[in-house]
Amino acid sequence: MALRITELKKGTIFRLGDEVYRVVDYAQKVIGRGGSIVNVRIKNVLDGRVQERTFKGNEQLEKADVTRRDVQYLYSDGTDCHFMDNDSYEQFSLPVADLDDKTGFMKNGGLVTAQLLDGRLINVELPKNMPLQITYTEDVVKGDTSNAITKNATLETGAIVKVPAFIKQGDIISVDTATGAYRGRST
**Average pLDDT score, the chain:** 88
Question: Does 149 score more than 90 pLDDT?
Answer: no
What Cα–Cα distance (Å) separates residue 58 from each residue in 4, 49, 55?
7, 26, 8
Q: Which amino acid is at 155?
A: L
How far, rounded to the nearest angstrom, does the alpha carbon of residue 171 sit from its chain's CA centroid? Answer: 24
Domains and CATH numbers, the chain: 2-63 (2.30.30.30), 66-125 (2.40.50.140), 129-185 (2.40.50.140)
Question: What is the average pLDDT across 72-93?
Answer: 93
- Position 141 scores a pLDDT of 67
What pairing do the DSSP bridges indicate for beta strands 172-176 and 66-76?
A: unpaired
- Position 146 scores a pLDDT of 58
Q: Which amino acid is at 82?
A: H
Q: List the Cα angle 144/145/147 in 5-degree steps.
A: 125
Look at residue 32 and give its three-state secondary structure: coil
CA dist., res. 99 & res. 10, Å (int): 14
The rounded percent of the chain whose pLDDT value lies above 90 is: 50
